[in-house]
Copies of this chain bind each other. A is one copy, B any other.
Amino acid sequence: MNIYDIAKEAGVSISTVSRVLNNKGNVNPATREKVEEVLERNHYTPSAIARGMVSKSMRTVAVLTVDIRVPHYARTAYTIERELSHRGYEVTLCNTGGEAEETEKYLRTMLEKKVDGIVLVGSVFNTICQKPEIRKMLCNVPVVLANGKLEMPNSYSVLVDDRYGIALAVNALIEKGHRDIYYVKDMDTVSARLKWDGFVSTLEHAGIAEAKKNVLHTTSDLEGGMRAVRELIQSGRKFSALVCGEDITAAGAVKALLQEGYRVPEDVAVTGYNNSEYARICEPTLTTVDNKPELVAMFSVQLLTSLIEKTDAYSSCTIQPELVEGKTI
């Protein structure tokens, strides 16, 4: 059932049907009514593909993320989707696993589908976008990197000041008199490096020089946090506080500490990062840092649509995290 069938059945030309469909141009009310009746009767649905053929756009945006199961990405992607939906765009979801190869594969398809824009959610994409073949693919489509910096003419970035975010946590601990503070580091993205940098420089600024050595490398999951704590205990080193790069590792740390008989925060203070549900489930509730994924998402959408619709009001922007007081420091 296409526009021709409708036109024939209504006894008008396809132009008239199109006018009725799009509320454009002058259509005699009587004619309009007749066409609408036929439209209704046949449950006619115009083909967005054919429309896309003409407009060269399917009103679709690709959201590339690492893994939608990670709450932080889920929150970001959720808000992006909702915002774009309100503006009449659909969202294609891509879980790249943070791998360049998968990213490239998705991008290829997205370019074929002529998406109106692309949002990259996750700090890994900073690294991935260094690859020349990926840069090349991105240079002909509006792109926003949520959390990072993309140096391209057709792109904007939303930056989260994670260096400052970790500094907030570290300073809060220093104020409480902590000196033996360890950092639980789990990844090696741009954002992770900012955090680590924030940790070291804040401590050094406070006159704690050996900060650089106080790092526990682990994986980005509950088990990772637990392992880090157990290793630290085993090592016999003195510690009174743990700054974790993620809520999930912080939750793991608290769990392991409790299991090993430490009291939190009386014996050991812990901070998380992300202000996720994980922080609230943890008992005691985690003191954490809100890096505002919803805000990142809103800005990303704002920037992307201004790129798409060429109404560039903004340029890139930076978001300041906030400390969220829990009961673990």
Q: Which residues of A contact B (CB under 8 A)?
A: 43, 45-50, 52-53, 56, 58, 60, 63, 67-69, 71, 74-75, 77-78, 81-82, 85, 90-95, 106, 108-109, 111-114, 136, 222, 248, 251-252, 254-255, 258-259, 277-278, 280-283
Given B48, B259, B280, which contacts A114 in the complex, CB threshold below 8 Å? Answer: B48
A74-B74, A81-B93, A254-B283 known; 10 new pairs, CB 8 Å cut-off, are A45-B111, A49-B113, A58-B58, A60-B92, A67-B78, A85-B94, A255-B281, A277-B278, A281-B281, A282-B283
Q: Please tell me how many copies of the chain the complex holds.
A: 2
**A255, B283: Cβ atoms closer than 8 Å:** yes
**B92, A251: Cβ atoms closer than 8 Å:** no
**B278, A259: Cβ atoms closer than 8 Å:** no
**With A277-B248, A283-B255 given, is the CB distance from A48 to B113 under 8 Å?**
yes
**B68, A68: Cβ atoms closer than 8 Å:** yes
**B68, A71: Cβ atoms closer than 8 Å:** no
Q: Which residue of B lies closest to A252 (CB)?
A: B281
Contacts of A277 in B (CB 8 A): 222, 248, 278
**B95, A92: Cβ atoms closer than 8 Å:** no
Given B95, B111, B252, which contacts A78 in the complex, CB threshold below 8 Å? Answer: B95
Q: Which residue of B lies closest to A293 (CB)?
A: B69
**A95, B74: Cβ atoms closer than 8 Å:** no
Contacts of A252 in B (CB 8 A): 281
**With A280-B222, A281-B278 given, is the CB distance from A47 to B114 under 8 Å?**
yes
Give Cα A136–Cα B40 distance, bound, in whole angstroms: 13
Given B43, B58, B108, which contacts A136 in the complex, CB threshold below 8 Å? Answer: B43
Q: Give A152 Cβ to nearest chain B Cβ, in Å.
A: 16
Give Cα A53–Cα B114 distance, bound, in whole angstroms: 14
Q: Give A190 Cβ to nearest chain B Cβ, in Å.
A: 24
